[in-house]
Structure 1
Amino acid sequence: MTEQDTAAQPVAPPSWRVFHATGRPPEGEPPRLPPPPPWRVFSGSPLQQPPPEDTPSARRRLGVVQDGPQLRAEEIDAVNAALLLRRPLLITGPPGVGKSTLAYLIAQELGLGRVLPWSIVSRTTLGGGLYDYDAIGRAQAIAAWRAGAEGEEGSTAGPPALGDFLTLGPLGTALLAYGRPRVLLVDELDKSDIDLPNDLLHVLENGSYEIPELVRAGAGEVSVLTDDPHGRAVVEGGRVECAEFPVVVITSNGEREFPAAFRRRCLPLEMRPPSREQLVSIVVSHLREHPEGAEDLVDDFVRRLDGGGTQSVDQLLNAVQLTTAHGFRADSDGRKLIEMLLRDLSKGR
C-alpha cells in the first residue's frame, strides 16, 4: 500500500465510550470526558483544588483489578450515556448486586478521586446534603472572643471566621467548581422522606445552590469546610455552582416509585445479579487468590439465584472466606454455617 493510499484511509472517530467497567486506574493522564450538551454547560467558579484519592475505600469495594469488564454491555452503555449527557444515573435492582459499588468503579477507572457517599434515611433532608451551619458553636466562639478581647488591651485578633462553622455536605461538595466532575453516591434514595426526590429536582437541574448565611452576611470569598477529610473550599458571594456536573449515582432497592418529574431527569439502569464468570472474578479480586473449592460455592450461589432466591454477593464472599479459613471442616456443622451464610434474604431470617 502506497503512502497516498494510506493517507486516503478514513480515520475512525473516537469512541463515545470512555468507561469500560474494568476498574483499572488510568496510567498517566486520566481519560477526557466527552463535551457536555449545550444545555448542560455550567460556569461555576472559583475552581477548587483536585479532590483527594481514597484508595483504601476503593480497594475494599472493588478488590484487586481483574482483566475484562465487570459489567454487562448494556450496563456499560447506560453509564457512558449518563456521562455524556451529564445526567444522574438511577440504579435499581435487588440488594447486593453492586449498585453502590458502581460509583467506586467509575471513580477509580476515570481517575475522579474520592467518592462522596450520601447515605439516605427517612430523616435525610436536602439541606443536610448541601451544608450544615453550626450557629450555636459560632455564637459561643464569638462570646469567647469578645470576653478575651475585653481582657486583653490592644488585641488585634479578629472575630471567628464564619466559614469555620459551615460544612458542606456530600451533595454540596459535589456541586463545587472542580476541573473534573466529582462522583456523588446517593445511596438508597427510596428510604427517604417522600419529598426529598422532588426537593432534589431544582438542585440537580441547575447544578447550583445558595448558602443564605453567607448571602446575608454580604460575604465575598469565604473558606468553608467540605465533606472531604480536612477539606476546605472557597465560596464566592454565598453561591455555589459546578463547573462540571458531577457523576451522580443514585441507588434504589425498589421499595417505592419516584415522581415522574424526577425520573425524567435521570437515566435508568436496572442491574441484574452478576454472571457466573463475573462472580468468580469478584471472588478472586477480593480474596487476592483463586481458593480451592470456590467455584463449587459459586455454582451453589448461582443455583440459589436461579431458583428465585434473594442473595447478596457479600454472602458468597463470606462463605468463600470461611471455607478457606485454616482448620475449617465442611462437615455437618460446617455445612450448617455455609447454609446460614447463603440463606435466602427474602425470608427475613
Structure 2
Amino acid sequence: MDTWWLYRGTGIPLDPVERDRRWPAPPPWRSYAGHPPDEPTAPARDDTAARVLGPPGTPRTPDPEEVARVNTALRLRRPLLVGGDPGVGKSALAHRIARELGLGPVLRWPVTGGSTLVEGLYTETAPGTVRLGPLGTALLPRRLPRVVLVDDLDRGGFDLPDELLAVLDDGEFTVPGLLGSGSATVHTCEPGGTAALRDGLVRCRELPVVVATTGGERELPPAFLRACVRLELPPLTREGLAELARSRFPAVDEDVLDPLLDRAGREPASPRQLLDALHLVATGALAAIRERDGEGSAALDTLWSWAAMEGS
C-alpha cells in the first residue's frame, strides 16, 4: 500500500523514474485527448519554491490528513480546495506538491474581485497575438500535469468557481481570435515560453493539479464544493512553528528561539512574524538592542514588536 502514497508531504523530491513508474492513470471520465508533436517543457529552475519552502531537501514532518487529501485529489484528478487561517501554508502546499513530484514551477493565478475566467485562460495583447494565462498554460497537453495555484478564489465573483469547474470538466478551451487561423504560436505565462495551437484550441492531455485557496471571505457555490477534495489546514502548533523556524534558520540559538515561540503562542501572530523576528536576530538586531538597552526579556519584546505585522 506504500506505493499508493505518491505525495508524501515531506518536501523531498521523488525520484523521477519512481514517479513515472507509479504515476496513476486517470479515471476514464477524466481522460483527455491532447497530444502535441512537441511537448512544452517547464522551466527547470524554480526560484519561487526556494523562497516559499526553503532550499530543496529541507526536512518537514508530514501531516497525515494533508497527505491523504492530496493523494486523493491526484488520483481522482479533482481540484484541491485548501482553507485555513493566514500563514498556515495554503499556498505553500501547491509549491510542495510541485517540488515533490517534479512538476515544474507553480503557475499562480491570484484572484481579485475583478478577476474573470478569461484572464486566467488568455489575453490578446494585439490582434493575433495571444498570451496564455496561468490556467491556459497549465491546460496545454503534457505527459505530466502542471500545478496551478488559484489563490484566494473566494475573492472572485460568485460565478467564477463554477466557470473554472466547467473548463476543467471540458479539459479544453478555444481562443476566439485564432479560430480558422490554422497553426499559430502563442506565448505562455512563463518568460520566453511559447506553444503551437491549431485553430485556437488548447486541449489538455493531463488535467492540471489545481490547488485553490480560500480565506473564508464568502461561501463558494455548492456545485464547486462538491467537485473538490477539501482540506482545512489547522493553525501551526508550537512544534510546527519550531520546525519551520529551524528549516530557515538551522543555526538558531535555542535560548532565542524558545522565548520567541513563547511570544508567538501568547498572542495572535503569523508564522511570518516569527520568521521576520529570526531574520532580525540573524542580522544582528538583537545584539544591537541589548547593547543599547541591556540584557533581559525586554530586548526580545522590542525585537518581537519590530517584527509585528501591521494591523495584527
C-alpha contact (below 8 Å) 1:90/1:249 kept by paired residues: yes
Partner in structure 2 of residue 214 of structure 1: 178
| Distance apart, 1:300 and its partner CA | 2.7
C-alpha contact (below 8 Å) 1:91/1:268 kept by paired residues: yes
Give distance in 1, aligned partners of 2:18 and 2:178: 35
| Distance apart, 1:297 and its partner CA | 1.3
The answer to whether 1:128 aligns with 2:116 is no
| Distance apart, 1:280 and its partner CA | 1.8
Partner in structure 1 of residue 31 of structure 2: 41
| Distance apart, 1:252 and its partner CA | 0.5
Partner in structure 2 of residue 298 of structure 1: 261
Partner in structure 2 of residue 329 of structure 1: 289
Of the three residues 231, 234, 247, the one matched with 1:269 is 231
List runs of 5+ in structure 2 lacking aligned partners: none
Deviations 1:128-170 (A, max 9, x none): 11000123xx4xxxxxxxxxxxxxxxxxxxxxxx3xx100000
Give distance in 2, aligned partners of 1:313 and 1:14: 32
Partner in structure 2 of residue 174 of structure 1: 138
Give distance in 2, aligned partners of 1:37 and 1:179: 16
Give distance in 1, aligned partners of 2:15 and 2:288: 41
Of the three residues 43, 66, 70, the one matched with 2:58 is 66
Give distance in 1, aligned partners of 2:281 and 2:252: 13
Partner in structure 2 of residue 339 of structure 1: 305
Q: Give 3-state SS (helix, strand or coil) of 1:83's partner.
A: helix
| Distance apart, 1:52 and its partner CA | 0.8
Residues 315-324 or 21-30, more deviating:
21-30
Q: How well do the aligned residues superpose, as a CA RMSD in angstroms?
A: 2.0
* 1:249-260 correspondence to structure 2 within 5 Å: 249-260=211-222
Q: Which structure has more RCO (C-alpha within 8 Å, separation ≥ 6)?
A: 1
Give distance in 1, aligned partners of 2:273 and 2:143: 39
| Distance apart, 1:122 and its partner CA | 0.8
Residue identity matched to 1:329: I
Q: Quote the sequence identity (%).
A: 42
Instruction: Note closer, same or farther for the CA distance 1:86–1:226 as it changes in structure 2 (3 Å cut).
Output: same
Give distance in 1, aligned partners of 2:72 and 2:194: 32
The answer to whether 1:232 aligns with 2:194 is yes
C-alpha contact (below 8 Å) 1:48/1:234 kept by paired residues: no
| Distance apart, 1:114 and its partner CA | 1.2
| Distance apart, 1:191 and its partner CA | 1.1
C-alpha contact (below 8 Å) 1:42/1:243 kept by paired residues: yes
Give distance in 1, aligned partners of 2:83 and 2:229: 11
Instruction: Note closer, same or farther for the CA distance 1:54–1:252 as it changes in structure 2 (3 Å cut).
Output: farther
Residue identity matched to 2:110: S
Q: Give 3-state SS (helix, strand or coil) of 2:17's partner.
A: coil
C-alpha contact (below 8 Å) 2:11/2:59 kept by paired residues: no
Residue identity matched to 1:260: P
| Distance apart, 1:29 and its partner CA | 2.8
Residue identity matched to 1:219: S
Give distance in 1, aligned partners of 2:65 and 2:220: 23
Kindly name which structure, 1 or 2, has the bigger radius of gyration based on alpha carbons. 1
Deviations 1:275-306 (A, max 9, x none): 323222211222343334113212331343xx
List runs of 5+ in structure 1 lacking aligned partners: 1-12, 139-161
Instruction: Note closer, same or farther for the CA distance 1:101–1:14 as it changes in structure 2 (3 Å cut).
Output: closer
C-alpha contact (below 8 Å) 1:328/1:334 kept by paired residues: no
Partner in structure 1 of residue 19 of structure 2: 31
Partner in structure 2 of residue 111 of structure 1: 102
Number of aligned positions between the proteins: 299
Instruction: Note closer, same or farther for the CA distance 1:225–1:55 as it changes in structure 2 (3 Å cut).
Output: same
Deviations 1:80-133 (A, max 9, x none): 100010010000110110000111101011000111010011111111110001
C-alpha contact (below 8 Å) 1:66/1:281 kept by paired residues: no
| Distance apart, 1:45 and its partner CA | 2.6
Deviations 1:169-213 (A, max 9, x none): 001001110110000000011111222112212102111111111
Instruction: Note closer, same or farther for the CA distance 1:203–1:74 as it changes in structure 2 (3 Å cut).
Output: same
C-alpha contact (below 8 Å) 1:30/1:110 kept by paired residues: no
